[in-house]
Structure 1
Amino acid sequence: MTENVRPRPLLRTVVGETLRRHRQEQRRTLAEVAREAAVSVQYLSEVERGRKEPSSEILAAVCEALGVELSELVVEVGHELAFDRVPADVVRLRLATITSIAPATRAAPPIHRTGDAMLMAA
């Protein structure tokens, strides 16, 4: 059975895409953000295209120029990397602890069984 999963993208690619998305949502140009972050337009463009791996100092400067917390960027990028390999028609389920129903006179210990899962949906 062959799994239909795309190869995992590079970190620098997802970082660049996320920075670009924030910039475009703000309707700002590369030049504006690059000037505020004190980096060249060409360098910022290469970061956004995933061709350059920015240092933590550059990331912090670009995030500040965009008004985005660095921690927020890291969470967004991590989420994208974590869920990128999941095929669209598959829902990930986490194993849950199942507690058996016991008479009120005694407490039942949690039961852990392989294959048990709990689906929580909103």
Structure 2
Amino acid sequence: MADVAYIGPGGSRRHQPLLRMLVGDVLRRRRIAQRRTLADVARAARVSVPYLSEVERGRKEASSEVLAAVCEALGLDLADFLTEVRLHLVTQVAPAHGSRQYPMAPNAHRAGDVMLLAA
């Protein structure tokens, strides 16, 4: 199974990491950071251990329902999870595209951002 997709207009090819690999990597890093086992998270998310393992290794594409359940089991907000996946994607793709910028929406915030309000 390939870890990258090759896409581009007019038959040109460029290296793009697969979304399922990025999703799995972020889930695994979060689980390990919490020092939790696959069995523990799978039980809390109500999915099988082999299935969660396949998702973490990027071999299976998880449905939105499964992602929501696993994120909940990890105590992770789905929006924060998707932001982390996006940031992971940017760090893997940006070097291949030189100084290409990846702007966020004007009011978008990342996990850990601080907003200061003045009266």
Task: Specify the TM-score bucket, using the shorter chain as the normaliser.
Answer: 0.5 to 0.7
**Residues 7-50 of structure 1: CA deviation (Å, up to 9, x unaligned):** 22100100000000000000000000000000000000000000
Secondary structure at 2:20 match in 1: helix
| 1:83 shift after superposition | 3.0
Larger Rg: 1
Residue 78 (structure 1) aligned with residue 86 (structure 2): yes
In the TM superposition, residue 58 of structure 1 has moved relative to its aligned partner by 0.2
Unmatched runs of 5 consecutive residues or more in structure 2: 1-13, 103-119
Tell me the TM-score normalised to structure 2 length: 0.68
Paired AA for residue 66 in structure 1: L
Shift >2 Å, 4+ stretches: 90-94
**Structure 1 length as normaliser, TM-score?**
0.66
Identity of aligned residues (%): 61
Counterpart of 1:23 (choices 28, 31, 34) is 31
CA-to-aligned-CA distance 1:54-88 (integer Å, 9 cap, x gap): 00000000000000001101001111112312229
Q: Please, what is the CA RMSD of the aligned residues?
A: 1.9
- Whichever structure has more helix as a proportion of its residues is 2
**SS of the residue 1:86 aligns to:** helix
Rounded to whole Å, the distance in 1 between the matches of 2:27 and 2:101 is 30
Any gaps of 5 or more consecutive residues in structure 1?
1-5, 95-122
How many residue pairs align between the two structures?
Answer: 88
